[in-house]
């Protein structure tokens, strides 16, 4: 199969339509879950997820905190499945995010929370999955079959579902209106290929990679790193600017590759500190986003479609996906079936 015919490239191209479908559900399951959140006023949220879904959970931490005022923690499923701990989820809302809905450890978190009378929400691409059967609310991603091993459209639909849930729970009409423009923004983003070929060529020398992002795009940094690790085998290390400058910055020397996600303000100041440190050490920097009028320091830039900052992770991840796929193809690897990986991993 040629690169142009690869499953993963086809699925990347399906993202605008897939996101449009899940957002159309804003008057259905998303609205019902948001209504219960408003009515019961949970004090916090817990999210159980793995892999790319765990990166969507990082975005959920941001938007549920920012829009709804909810402190959000990522679950520790092994406390249920390995240590049989009796966790208290009283007064919380517990979400599971999983494209397959089949991981027993994620299901176990929702089972425990529902038994305690909590609001439980499953965000999944399989409405008939064990996780869906466990939850009180099921948000079906409606992404269609995702045949490639690497998650692409199930990741962006998860982001869209989380964003719609947060906006509805906050009863924020202006943000709900902003969401309606996301499918078109994704379509425009797919047409923006400037810088991709040069960035892919640079990946041929990568063995280690630092990936940095902040705020709404902290999740994008983790997802970009995961895609690059999955598809190329490059050891990509994600971090926030604060965490990076507290230690990992010591990795940087001349030619060390850095991928910086700077899609929109107000996360710029700390990101520019990282870029300045990287530039001063002669690192090889690729920037996703930044200003078109005054580009940030870096060797190459991948454009991101302008739009509301809180929704920028949906567009900013597309250059990262295309970069990871292109890097795999550049190395002669099968981007659809990375070595040693399966589509569904049933962790316990």
For the cut 50, the answer to whether the pLDDT of residue 293 exceeds it is no
Q: How far apart are CA 3 and CA 346, in angstroms?
A: 29
Q: What is the DSSP letter of 149?
A: S
Average pLDDT over residues 69-80: 96
Q: What is the CA radius of gyration of the chain?
A: 19
**Apex CA 140: angle with CA 143 and CA 168, to 5°?**
110
Which pTM does this prediction carry? 0.94
Average pLDDT over residues 294-308: 81
> Which residue do the tokens 């966790």 mark?
87
For 17-35, write each residue's pLDDT tens digit. Answer: 999 999 998 779 999 999 9
Contact 38, 70 (CB under 8 A): no
Residue 24, C-beta contacts closer than 8 angstroms, at least 6 positions apart = none
Contact 178, 39 (CB under 8 A): no
Average pLDDT over residues 56-76: 97
1: confidence class by pLDDT, cuts 50, 70, 90: very low
Closest CA to 117 of 36, 61, 29: 36
Q: How far apart are CA 278 and CA 273, in angstroms?
A: 9
For the cut 60, the answer to whether the pLDDT of residue 4 exceeds it is no
The pLDDT, as a whole number, for residue 250 is: 87
Phi and psi at 23, nearest 5°, equal -70, -25
Q: How far apart are CA 136 and CA 120, in angstroms?
A: 5
Report the side by side order of strands in the sheet with 44-49. Answer: 72-74, 44-49, 92-98, 119-124, 137-140
Range with the poorest average pLDDT among 61-75, 101-115, 236-250, 331-345: 331-345
First to last CA, the chain: 35
Residues of the chain above pLDDT 90, percent = 80
* Mean pLDDT over the full length of the chain: 92
Average pLDDT over residues 191-206: 92
Identify the structural domains of the chain with CATH numbers, from first to last: 3-180 (3.40.50.10490), 192-330 (3.40.50.10490)
Q: How far apart are CA 264 and CA 83, in angstroms?
A: 42
């Amino acid at each position: 199969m040629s690169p142009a015919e690869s499953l993963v490239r086809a699925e990347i191209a399906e993202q605008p339509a897939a996101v449009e479908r899940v957002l159309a559900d804003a008057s259905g399951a998303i609205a019902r879950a948001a209504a219960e959140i408003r009515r019961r006023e949970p004090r916090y949220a817990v999210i159980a997820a793995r892999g790319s879904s765990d990166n969507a959970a990082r975005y959920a931490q941001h938007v549920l905190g920012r829009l709804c005022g909810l402190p959000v923690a990522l679950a520790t499923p092994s406390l249920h499945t390995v240590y049989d701990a009796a966790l208290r989820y009283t007064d919380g809302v517990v979400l599971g995010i999983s494209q397959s809905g089949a991981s027993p450890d994620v299901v176990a978190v929702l089972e425990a929370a529902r038994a305690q009378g909590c609001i439980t929400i499953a965000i999944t691409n399989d409405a008939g999955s064990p996780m869906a059967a466990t939850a009180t609310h099921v948000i079906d991603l409606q992404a269609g079959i995702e045949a490639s091993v690497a998650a692409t459209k199930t990741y962006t639909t998860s982001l869209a579902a989380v964003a719609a849930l947060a906006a509805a729970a906050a009863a924020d009409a202006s943000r709900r209106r902003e969401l309606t423009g996301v499918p078109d923004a994704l379509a425009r983003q797919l047409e923006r290929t400037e810088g991709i070929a040069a960035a892919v060529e640079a990946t041929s020398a990568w063995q280690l990679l630092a990936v940095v992002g902040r705020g709404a795009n902290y999740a994008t940094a983790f997802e970009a790193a995961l895609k690059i690790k999955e598809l190329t085998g490059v050891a990509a290390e994600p971090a926030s600017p604060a965490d990076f400058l507290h230690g990992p910055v010591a990795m940087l020397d001349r030619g060390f590759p850095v991928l910086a996600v700077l899609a929109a303000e107000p996360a710029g100041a700390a990101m520019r500190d990282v870029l300045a440190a990287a530039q001063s050490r002669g690192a090889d920097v690729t920037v996703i986003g930044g200003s078109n009028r005054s580009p940030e320091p870096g060797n190459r830039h991948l454009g991101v479609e302008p739009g509301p900052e809180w929704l920028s992770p949906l567009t900013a991840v597309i250059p990262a996906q295309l970069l990871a796929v292109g890097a795999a193809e550049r190395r002669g690897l099968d981007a659809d079936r990375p070595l040693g990986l399966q589509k569904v991993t049933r962790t316990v």
